[in-house]
Structure 1
């Protein structure tokens, strides 16, 4: 058995169990191993000791020399600091750390932004494409933002919360910021409040920043996570709890109510309330964001209509069923920052793209290829150090070339 994995091992073979000096042996259960995968190991080139790659943070396909033999137990960074040159990271860092009490390890933030665009045809059904092009133009531009939050646990910065957002400076004459995906793993260490309350404040901090930058509108869709599906972080702990739709809607109400109380948000409404205001008189009025709720529904209705039903009347009739189904699970709100006497002009920011960390699917592919997962604290440490290595490499390249491209 790998010596370093013993304090945190969650699965131990019978041969090693008695020798591992396991505490609280009565809490362990004997099970049959149905997992055919074998965790990768490396042997020290000098002493021959076998260790898990994860436990010794061995990332390269090069000969391994353990810390005892090399006298150099750590040749790379295992912690990360917020980049003082990134305005939003500094803002979120300050907001996050205000939630902690003395003695709790500091939170750090790293984010990446990428300019993206899509055709209006990709977002709107054929029946209303002509009107959509009049409203949006033939192409829609937006910024995709990825935000990673870390906290030090056992002297290692561990990623525990992530946001992927979309920001539209001009979508049919309105500015929007939208949370596309959010994800968490239970490795943050705080005693002063529950992790969900910290996550709530991190989400509001993002919307507060966007309001201060001049964005006026925000959107949330309560799309409950499915256990076993990876959204940002690859492989969650088996015991991690997930909110169902009702619970997620309730949590979003808490976030938005807190936003109103603290004047981050000027007001919020669910879809039903927005509909009653007369905001959505026609399908073309529905806000469409890339891969979002109404984009998907409009395209689905378009595909469901038969040839002899392909007209405005039948489309609206079928869409009204979705209006009832989606009455409470999507929210619309105004950001207070845009109501300041002298709001900051809405101007394009300097982007800092990252080809892996800035794209959710590419990041998940990287995690899968490298066996980066967050199913246990031990594996989350290794995976987080892998992420840190990517961030540090990008920062070094930026400092050398003046660009964050990687």
Structure 2
């Protein structure tokens, strides 16, 4: 990501630094540059990841693609942090001279270069404003976007809701490679592919509210088709999901979110995907996933509410014969008899590749006697698993044991007892079992996962229609 504004760090705090920048308006830096031609901007900013990915000692930048790029040594870039709050840009009406916030007036010079006229003057003097051609409906239509849009608007029509038509578009679609991390490649030398190819898509939903397109929903998905090696074959991964609560009417807001997700699962099913993976993790108050910021009054879902929300969506998908079942990742591994880490799906920006890397490092640091002691304390499944894997390398068995142990811990962590009377009162399993019991009735909630195979499909549906499975990690 390119940040156009950032602040230089003077205390050398590497942890806080998120961007690197070079200010080409500085006399000290300019005298080192071979030429200023094609450098009209004052700053060129890169994120740390992109900056470090450039192996050469120089970076080529420029503002005009028709001109030669300018070579800038990497040592001239300064560490910076993108934490400046930009002042609100103000604009004046060319008729009444009233001053407006540019963002409040929804003013963009590229659309209306002839000057700003406020809505008050437009009404009072009956002025016709130039039509804005840059609206959501004018964006490129794809098969996926048309299916989702048709499904959502049909739902709203059936509910007799006419607040504003919803427009859904795939704003980005590109081929990517999920690169396997270094520790796993070393651990399973010559047994692991370098990466898993997939198609990355960014899908957003807009609603026309008072004549303006408002984006209210977005998801990033990763699609691993039949050309991708196992275990990622025929899988989709919904890596990010984010919303802002502007959809109207509020009554159908959550239903519309569900319609989009179920519609995407249906689309994936129709294109041969057999499994879907979805994070069910509450949003942190200090973290923005897709949208740059959220309304301060927007409530963040608690763990229990998010689980119930996902369950409700998946139950609807099952009722429509789109999904077959859902379960947690531990149960999914048990049902599919996973005997090696290489059988666990491996996605970009997912939790489990990180846990696998950490587990390998932990395993490499452990003493063999400690590993032997852990084997003795393994549960029944792990003992059976280790016995079946006797012909494999011992370190592979130890690694899988660590991974399953982590999954089991997360499974225990995900068990919650919530009060049926009080709002947002939850207890962990340990606290729930402490006497005396809580005065109100408590119900158990366990994080769920989804899985499906063709054998299960024939048994459960007794039909030839393919269905999609969604796995909540």
TM-score, normalised with respect to structure 1: 0.66
Q: Evaluate the alpha carbon distance shift between residue 257 and residue 139 of structure 1 in structure 2; reply closer, same or farther with a 3 A threshold.
A: same
Question: 1:218 is matched with which residue?
Answer: 276
**Matching of residue 154 in structure 1 with residue 210 in structure 2:** yes
1:331 corresponds to 2:465: no
Asked if 1:181 corresponds to 2:240, the answer is: yes
**Counterpart selection for 2:146 from 90, 104, 118:** 90
Q: Does 1:315 align with 2:399?
A: yes
Residues matched between the structures, number: 304
SS of the equivalent of 1:275 reads: helix
Mapped contact 1:208–1:335 kept (Cα < 8 A): no
Q: 2:324 aligns with which of 256, 260, 266?
A: 266
- Greater CA drift, 303-312 or 105-114: 303-312
**Distance in 2 of aligned mates of 1:270 and 1:161:** 25
Q: 1:247 to 1:82 in 2, by over 3 A?
A: farther
The equivalent of 1:66 in structure 2 is 117
**2: CA distance between counterparts of 1:38 and 1:335?**
55
Alignment of 1:283 with 2:341, yes or no, is yes
Greater length-normalized contact order (CA 8 Å, ≥ 6 residues apart): 1
Deviation track 1:134-174 (CA, whole Å, cap 9, x = no partner) reads xxx33321000110001111111110111110000124162
Q: Structure 1 residue 94: deviation in Å? A: 1.0
The TM-score, its normalising length taken from structure 2, stands at 0.58
Indicate if the aligned counterparts of 1:142 and 1:168 stay in contact, CA closer than 8 A: yes
Query: Offset of 1:330 from its aligned partner?
Result: 6.1
Which residue is equivalent to 1:145? 201
Q: Distance in 2 between matches of 1:197 and 1:172?
A: 34
122 and 256 in structure 1: CA distance in 2 versus 1, 3 angstrom threshold: farther
Task: Check the 8 A contact 1:123/1:288 in 2, yes or no.
Answer: no
2:28 is aligned to none
Asked if the contact 1:42/1:64 (under 8 Å) is kept, the reply is no
SS of 2:325 mapped into structure 1 = strand
Query: Structure 2 vs 1, CA of residues 229 and 84 (structure 1 numbering), >3 Å: closer, same or farther?
Result: closer
In the alignment, the residues of structure 2 paired with residue 307 and residue 155 of structure 1 have an alpha-carbon distance, to the nearest angstrom, of: 61
Counterpart among 178, 186, 198 of residue 126 in structure 1: 186
**Does 1:108 find its partner at 2:159?**
no
User: For the pair shown, which has the larger CA radius of gyration, 1 or 2?
Assistant: 2
Aligned residues of 1:79 and 1:155 also touching (Cα < 8 A): no
In structure 2, list runs of 5 or more residues that go unmatched: 1-83, 369-394, 412-445, 468-473
1:47–1:188 distance in 2 versus 1, CA, 3 Å: same
1:377 is aligned to none
Give the aligned partner of residue 423 of structure 2. none
**Residues 166 and 206 in structure 2, CA contact (< 8 A), matched pair in contact too:** yes
1:41-79 deviation line (CA, Å, top 9, x unaligned): 112345422111012222238784324389344542474
Aligned partner (choices 94, 101, 108) of residue 52 of structure 1: 101
Is residue 167 of structure 1 aligned with residue 223 of structure 2?
yes
Contact 1:279 1:285 in 2 (8 A): no
| CA shift for structure 1 position 299 | 1.7
Q: Deviations along 1:6-55, whole A, 9 cap, x unmatched? A: xxxxxxxxxxxxxxxxxxxxxxxxxxxxx976422112345422111012
SS at match of 2:240: strand
Q: Is the 8 A contact 1:82 1:109 kept in 2?
A: no
SS across alignment from 1:331: coil
Question: Please, which of 70, 92, 105 is the counterpart of residue 43 of structure 1?
Answer: 92
- Which structure carries more helix by proportion? 1
Distance 1:275 1:341, change over 3 A: closer
Distance 1:286 1:250 in 2: 26
Q: 2:333, 2:344 within 8 Å by CA — same for their partners in 1?
A: no
Q: Given the alignment of the two structures, is residue 80 of structure 1 paired with residue 136 of structure 2, yes or no?
A: yes
Q: In 1, Cα distance between the equivalents of 2:361 and 2:295? A: 38
8 Å CA contact retained: 1:166, 1:177 = yes
Cα deviation for residue 219 of structure 1 reads 1.2
